[in-house]
Structure 1
Amino acid sequence: MAEPYFSIDYRAQVNLCLLADGETVPDADTLEAQIPAPFKLISEVTRIDTNNARLLRNLDEHAADLVEIINLQSQKIDLVLSYVLAGEDSPDQRYYTQSLGGGGFRFLSSTPFAEGDEVRFKLFLPELSVAVYGYGQIQQEQEGALYHCQFSALREQDRDALIRASLQLQAKQLKARAERRAQQDDAINNDSN
């Protein structure tokens, strides 16, 4: 089945917890009530930052100092939130993604999961001010340790944040690739002269 969302290769930290017998994926209201406060807080800060960025783009060039001050304040808040979110990480449930996007993420695990296992997850992207709490269903990608967690319960604003983060990561990767290519071209041109 083709994934309807864009996915990008990226290593991010994720906690996975198998649902207990009898535990089910919650509806939207129950999910909202279960989300730990730090996840709600970072989601709201990210929403505010997105709105601020939109407003700042409309300012003229004389507002550059104001933009810099606001960006520095945002960075301070992000540092505090990263510290708070670190308390949500459970090292015994920690895995790392190989790719992620708006539909789910792929990860490696030496601990076997069964096809269709339901999990609660906490996905952390502190460098992008994104942390997501939700539920997913495990699918084995191939024989061995590669799995895909397809989202089954996730707030739309968190899905949007993951989509934006994926696009930002792709833009950074493309820029780095273009810079490497330009350096290689320069080296070839210098060698031929």
Structure 2
Amino acid sequence: MFTDSTPYFSVKHDFTAYLSPWPKEQALPTEYELRAMLPMGLLLINDVKSLESDCLLQLRHLDDDAKTVVDYLKLQSRKIDLILQYVLEREQHDGEQYQGAFFGGSGIRIISETPLNENEQYKITLHIREELVALLCFVKVTSSEPLDTDTSQASSRYISSLEFTQILETDVEQLVKASLSVQQKQLKLRKQAKASS
């Protein structure tokens, strides 16, 4: 169970988050309790990703002739991930839906119509579609500020920072890998844009 507030960088990227307030008087779940809370869809996608990464690690040690097989297996794995992601998105989700703006291994930032109260705890389900990440964890609100910088009128939207308070270590690893992947794609796009201008 990861409860450390190790600072990781975060990356700007759209995703979906479902937040359910967690009662103040109720303790956060243990690692065992958190695993027991995972819906079947999340368990399936986590198991598939774990099996996939173990298998790909072993295949990396094969010679160049195996590259075609590895590429084919990656394609098959991607298909399975996409189907699981589709199934997950169709499931009923607890909590209110929010638009995510930034994510990383330490926490997320979301956009809301009203400010969230600092230090409030939430149970949260995250879906980062392009990176095939879906997870359940707990967060605490560290700040909630107006998104609009124009001070002459009241803000209609807020950006809130949420730090992870209970999250499985494997989920932190998923988020770190996904943030690095998104950053690489963004850098590649910037290079292409500079080259074409």
User: CA deviation digits over 1:104-151, x for unaligned, max 9?
Assistant: 100110033211111010001232221110111112242461101110
Structure 2 residue aligned with 1:173? 186
- 1:60, distance to aligned residue in structure 2 (A): 2.4
**1:15 equivalenced with 2:18 (yes/no):** yes
Q: Once superposed, what is the RMSD of the aligned Cα atoms?
A: 2.1
- Report 1:21-100 matches (<5 A): 22-88=25-91, 90=93, 93-100=96-103
**Amino acid across the alignment from 1:106:** R
TM superposition score normalised by structure 2: 0.83
Q: SS state of the match for residue 164, structure 1? A: helix
Segments of 5+ residues of structure 1 without an aligned counterpart are 185-193
Q: Report the structure, 1 or 2, having the larger strand content.
A: 2
- 1:172, distance to aligned residue in structure 2 (A): 0.8
Q: Whole-Å Cα distance in 2 between the matches of residues 88 and 161 of structure 1?
A: 21
Q: Whole-Å Cα distance in 1 between the matches of residues 46 and 35 of structure 2?
A: 12
**Amino acid across the alignment from 2:60:** R
- 1:92, distance to aligned residue in structure 2 (A): 6.6
* Identity of matched residues, %: 31
Structure 2 residue aligned with 1:187? none
Q: Whole-Å Cα distance in 2 between the matches of residues 25 and 33 of structure 1?
A: 13
Structure 2 residue aligned with 1:188? none
Q: SS state of the match for residue 33, structure 2? A: helix
- Report 1:134-145 matches (<5 A): 134-143=137-146, 145=158
Structure 2 residue aligned with 1:152? 165
Segments of 5+ residues of structure 2 without an aligned counterpart are 147-154
Q: Whole-Å Cα distance in 2 between the matches of residues 117 and 179 of structure 1?
A: 42
User: CA deviation digits over 1:11-40, x for unaligned, max 9?
Assistant: 111111112463332122211211212212
Q: 1:177 to 1:56 in 2, by over 3 A?
A: farther
Q: Which protein has the larger Cα radius of gyration, Structure 1 or Structure 2?
A: 1
- 1:89, distance to aligned residue in structure 2 (A): 5.1
Q: Report the structure, 1 or 2, having the larger helix content.
A: 1
Q: SS state of the match for residue 80, structure 1? A: helix
- 1:84, distance to aligned residue in structure 2 (A): 2.1
TM superposition score normalised by structure 1: 0.85
The answer to whether the 8 A contact 1:15-1:93 is kept is yes
Q: Whole-Å Cα distance in 2 between the matches of residues 88 and 150 of structure 1?
A: 25
The answer to whether the 8 A contact 2:115-2:144 is kept is no
User: CA deviation digits over 1:50-102, x for unaligned, max 9?
Assistant: 22332333232322331232122212211221122113453971111111000
